[in-house]
Every structure is written in structure tokens, then in C-alpha cells.
Amino acid sequence: MESIPHSFITDLRRRGIKDERTLASMAKVPRHLFVPADIRQHAYDDRALPIECRQTISQPFIVAWMTELLQLRGGERVLEIGTGSGYQTTMLAELCGQVVTIERHQHLSQLARSRLDQLGYTNITFHVGDGTLGWPSGAPYDACLVAAASPGIPEALTDQLAPGGRLVIPVGTATDQEMVVVTKGNDGRLHQRSCGGCRFVKLIGEQGWHVSADEDER
């Protein structure tokens, strides 16, 4: 079985990832199992790669960065929007108590579930639907990670955060976004800060980007 290169973690440290739990998870989960076979030789390059349904698996630094920004300590209930390949999902599952993950493409959700079942994860619940609306029946969540770019902060997601909860989401235009951390105070007020530039595929849904039927990538 292909091993994770030592340089993979060294490069993440060099780029500023400091959380040891995040780094340990990145060192444990084999990214090559989450990319198509024909580009598997690029699995540990620090770049996004294409996957099924015209989506992408985020570059390793972005996965580590978003995970670190959530500041998980173990035991949390986390909502993930955009299951994709399931790679980011595994990072959350390694670091928290329970992951609820939503994907709008049924095919991607099924592939991710099969992979993560084979890897032995038992603390993940998979759903297919509009991620911009969250998953209200599982709320409140201690943290939420959105793996797609939104034109604004979906109110449904902040509503489903527990007091003290944290939302990490790319926000901006279709081509240029900022990574935003939203923290919900004990009084329910939202506190927002930008952490730097990034670029993701669009977050499609009722409280995200709207596309016509012929533009939809399903």
C-alpha cells in the first residue's frame, strides 16, 4: 500500500499549520484513496484535484487550514457541507465525536460512504440534499465546515450552531473568496473574521448560488 510521504506533513508545517492533532490526522489518512486512479500519482501534491461529478478534492493545505480553524478538541458534533470525496470528512471524524455530512450529488455521497466504511469510520452520518439549509434535525452543532464557496453566510447554518459554535466557510464571488470564521456567542450574536484568500467551487443551493437546470453539474 502506498505510504504518505514525510514531506507531505513537513510542507504543511512550513506553510503554517501548527495544530498537532490536525497534522496527526493528515499523516494518518491516505489521500491517494480519495482521488481517481488515473491521477493517483499526484495525490500528495499540494493542489486541488478533479474528482467525479466535476467537483474537486481540496488541496491538502486548505483541508488542514480549515480543520485547524475549527479548533476541535474531541467530542464535538460537527456539520460538514459538501462531502465530496470524503477526505475532509475523515479529518473531522478523526478529531470530533460525530460528523453529519451533506452532499448534493448522490453519486459522490455513495462513493464517499463506501470509502469511509471500508476505512472503518463509524461516527459519520451521510445525507444527500441542499447543504445550504444544513440538517436541522441534527442541530445544534458545535462546529460547521463548508467545503464550497458561498456568496454570503447562510442563515440556516448559523441558526444551527450551538452557543460558542464555530462556522468555517469560503465567502465571496465565484472566482475570489475569503476564508471566514463565524463564532456564535453565548448570547446568540455572531462574530466574524476573515483569515485569508482561497478559491472553491460554488456552494449551490437555496441560500447559496443559484443555477439553472442546464447549468447544474449533476
User: What is the band of 209 on the pLDDT scale with cuts at 50, 70, 90?
Assistant: very high
User: What is the band of 211 on the pLDDT scale with cuts at 50, 70, 90?
Assistant: confident
148-191 pLDDT per residue, tens: 999 999 999 999 999 999 999 999 999 999 999 999 999 999 99
User: What is the band of 215 on the pLDDT scale with cuts at 50, 70, 90?
Assistant: low
39-62 pLDDT per residue, tens: 999 999 999 999 999 999 999 999
58, 85, 109, 150: which one is catalytic?
58
Please, what is the average pLDDT of the chain? Answer: 95
CB of 209 within 8 A of CB of 185? no
**Percent of the chain having pLDDT more than 70?**
96
Q: CA geometry: angle at 190 spanning 185 and 193, to 5°?
A: 110
Task: Provide the 8-state DSSP code for 72.
Answer: -
118-136 pLDDT per residue, tens: 999 999 999 999 999 999 9
Pairing outcome for strands 141-146 and 124-128: unpaired
Could you tell me the three cell numbers for 90? 475523515
Best CA proximity match to 202, nearest among 4, 42, 55: 55
194 is catalytic: no
- Rounded average pLDDT over 9-22: 97
Q: Which residues of 178-202 are buried (b: 16+ CB within 10 A; e: fewer)?
A: ebbbbbbeeeeeeeeeeeeebebbb
